[in-house]
Amino acid sequence: MRGTEHGTMREHGEPAMTDRVPSVDRFRGCLVGQCLGDALGMPVEGADQAECRVHVEAYVRPGLPPPHGRGPYPFGQYTDDSQLARELLDSWMLCRRFEPVDYARRIADLFREGRIVGQGRATSEAAARLLTGTPWDEAGAPPPAAGNGSAMRAGPVGLMAFASPADLVRLATDQGRITHADPRCSAGAVAIAGAVALALRPGPVDVRHVADTLAAWAGQVDRSFAEAVEHLPKWVALAPEDALLRIARQGLPPDEADRYPDDCITPFVVPSVLWSLYAFLRTPDDYLATLATAIGCGGDVDTTAAMAGAVSGARVGFNALPQDLAARLTDRGTWGLVDLVALADEAWVVAGG
């Protein structure tokens, strides 16, 4: 039975979820919002703060198309972040449920066929293991490898499991451990999927409630990650330059912290997920402002913008995204805007819409 617009309370203090399927506009917004954030961050991926801020002020804030993408790719091309999120959702549609064997095959095929764009090392190594016959639940890079590869693609789990925290935690974890076995990676995937699920709810965004809820869910996988998420409300009150100093090295053991810069966001899962959530929570109802924060930090900004874009898009919906920029989305001539919208529409139907 469907609940009310404001959700239903569950037993034993579990955070309320809504049983009412959000609008198809929100489903479209999540998938397209991720791909567009990814594409807007791609031209300055790995660049320092100064270069990223110039890019933000010239193109991101005003919603203008950058004159180029990265390398041989024009603006509109999105990277492995969104390729893998799209394949996760497309696999779900084909199987009508999350089927890890099918999704693992898709990951391996992207690498085998040379279709992946900008892959991370852990994911690439996991794909190689999958191609040699390693089972999906044994292929993930073991600790201490803790990149953001499993979190960057977790947004679709939030769409499909928006009404069930237990399913969301389990599915976000399972899709992630195909490539990353470190529990911090799983917790990051839970946090991004959970943020999408919470962004789908009606009403204003309560930063404290979001942080507490995500910490409760992520804490089922990794307590240290949950403790970091609990600090989000005080960080959201800070300007980006001050928040960056507190987030950039989060989760690192003291003896490793000096090896990581504090003036940009690296691909390490803890700070990159935290920064994406910070960017969204600062401006939850302004997609381009969220991307400006996600990209302005410097570093792994295609991924921070992809994750923040998925959450923001789920919140504001497709119709609030810059349509002229979204129309340029492509994966080397395939999977453009029309195809992405069609996939999101099918996901909405399968979810119960």
pLDDT digits (tens, 9 = 90+) for 297-353: 999 999 999 999 999 999 999 999 999 999 999 999 999 999 999 999 999 999 997
Maximum Cα interatomic distance, the chain, rounded to a whole number of Å: 54
Residues in the chain: 353
Which residue carries 């803790």 as its tokens? 146
Confidence of residue 19 (pLDDT cuts 50, 70, 90): low
Is-contact 278 248, C-beta < 8 A? no
- The secondary structure of residue 21, as a DSSP letter, is P
Q: What gap in Å lies between CA 260 and CA 244, rounded to an integer?
A: 13
Query: What is the spatial distance between Cα 118 and Cα 80, in angstroms, rounded to a whole number?
Result: 6
260 band by pLDDT with thresholds 50, 70 and 90: confident
pTM: 0.94
Confidence at residue 336, expressed as pLDDT on a 0 to 100 scale: 98
d(CA 49, CA 32): 26
Tell me how far apart the terminal alpha carbons of the chain are, to the nearest angstrom.
Answer: 13
- Which tens digit of pLDDT belongs to each residue from 93-144? 999 999 999 999 999 999 999 999 998 999 999 999 999 999 999 999 999 9
Which pLDDT score, from 0 to 100, does residue 199 have?
98
330 by DSSP, 3-state: which? Answer: strand
